[in-house]
């Protein structure tokens, strides 16, 4: 089917939102794609996704963001959606230490089920609840460095850093893609223009240890 003109894009990047229940994944998504926030956002059942097309590093990127259920029992269903994702936003709630403690479990999930080169960004959400903060920025920052993740704190409610977070991860994905296409010396531009999701791990299914370069 022919794409409409307003849907023209250079790249389609699939990104997943993961993290414990109630950390604000759905609201990060709605803030980014529709500039909306809903206090009564219900738990996500299964998976949902939304898209937004934006400019990143001078390119038109269509970001397809998959929102997943946070409860552990649905993980078998949601982890199927990690496949083909170029990026993952791993979200915790800065007011709930357990959601930060569980980040390592989520990382393991990604390493088990996602493509090995997936770009992972750690997000501490709900910074608007200043008086309730229970996870220090420095702790999360050092954890992210140790694990080789990028890190940012956001407030979906106040629309702080949400745009920046998505911009950052999409830019990082773009840099990896362009580096990869340069090094592989393929006329990549044409295939990319097809608008297909590009797997960073490419055609090879060989498992590499994650992220650390």
Partner 1 sequence: MNLKQVSALTKNFETPWFKSFKATWFHQRRRFALSPQQWRKLFTPEGKLQDIVEFLKIIRTDVSIMFLRFVYSGFIYWNTWSYDLIPLISGEFLVQGVDPSIRAEVWPFLLGIKEYENLRSRVRQLSKQGNGEGYSVHLHSDSTTDEAIPNHGEKNDPNYTKNKSVKESNYKAQTAEDFTTSKTSIRLDALRANAEWIAYSPSLATVPEGQARGFADDVGLQDYGNLEPGRIFHAARLVAILEAYALYDPEIGYAQGMCDLLAPIITVMQEDYEAFWCLVGFMRKAHHNFRIDQAGIWRQLDIVSKIIRLKDLDLYRHLKMLGAEDCFFVYRMLVVLFRRELSFEQTLCLWEVMWSNQAALRAGIRELALGQTTLQAPLTDDLLLYAIAACVLQKRKVIIEEYSSMDEILRFCNHMGEQLNIWKLLDQARDLVVTLQDKI
Binding site for partner 1 (CB under 8 A): 1, 21-22, 39-43, 45-50, 64, 69-74, 76-77, 98
CB of 187 to partner 1, least distance (A): 25
Nearer to partner 1, 43 or 191 (CB): 43
CB of 50 to partner 1, least distance (A): 8
Nearer to partner 1, 31 or 144 (CB): 31
Beta strands at 47-56 and 59-68: parallel, antiparallel or unpaired: antiparallel
Cα–Cα distance measured from residue 91 to residue 18, given in angstroms and rounded to the nearest whole number: 6
CB of 78 to partner 1, least distance (A): 11
C-beta atoms surrounding 63 within 10 Å: 25
Contact 174, 57 (CB under 8 A): yes
Nearer to partner 1, 127 or 167 (CB): 127
Find, among 116, 100, 120, 107, the residue nearest to 201 by Cα: 116
3-state secondary structure at position 5 = helix
Cα–Cα distance measured from residue 58 to residue 188, given in angstroms and rounded to the nearest whole number: 17
CB of 18 to partner 1, least distance (A): 15
Nearer to partner 1, 27 or 154 (CB): 27
């Amino acid at each position: 089917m022919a794409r409409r003109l307003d849907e023209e894009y250079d790249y389609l990047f699939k990104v997943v939102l993961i993290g414990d229940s109630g950390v604000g994944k759905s609201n990060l998504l709605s803030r980014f794609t529709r500039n909306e926030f809903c206090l009564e956002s219900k738990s996500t059942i299964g998976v949902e996704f939304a898209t937004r097309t934006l400019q990143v590093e001078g390119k038109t990127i269509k970001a397809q963001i998959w929102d997943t259920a946070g409860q552990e029992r649905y993980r078998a269903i949601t982890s199927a959606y990690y496949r083909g994702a170029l990026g993952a936003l791993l979200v915790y709630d800065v007011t709930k230490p357990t959601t930060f403690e569980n980040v390592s479990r989520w990382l393991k999930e990604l390493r088990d089920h996602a493509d090995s080169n997936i770009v992972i960004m750690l997000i501490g959400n709900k910074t608007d609840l200043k008086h309730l903060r229970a996870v220090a920025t420095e702790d999360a920052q050092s954890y992210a460095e140790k694990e080789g993740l990028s890190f940012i704190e956001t407030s979906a409610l106040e629309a702080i850093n949400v745009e920046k977070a998505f911009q950052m991860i999409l830019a990082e994905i773009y840099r990896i893609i362009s580096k990869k296409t340069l090094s592989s010396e393929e006329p990549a531009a044409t295939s990319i223009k097809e608008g297909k999701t590009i797997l960073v791990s490419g055609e090879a299914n060989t498992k590499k240890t994650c992220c650390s370069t």
